[in-house]
A and B are shown apart, each in its own frame.
Chain A
Amino acid sequence: QQQVKQSPQSLIVQKGGISIINCAYENTAFDYFPWYQQFPGKGPALLIAIRPDVSEKKEGRFTISFNKSAKQFSLHIMDSQPGDSATYFCAASEEAAGNKLTFGGGTRVLVKP
Chain B
Amino acid sequence: GAGVSQSPSNKVTEKGKDVELRCDPISGHTALYWYRQSLGQGLEFLIYFQGNSAPDKSGLPSDRFSAERTGGSVSTLTIQRTQQEDSAVYLCASSLPPKTGKSGGTYNEQFFGPGTRLTVL
Do A and B actually bind? no
Residues of A within 8 A of B (CB): none
Residues of B within 8 A of A (CB): none
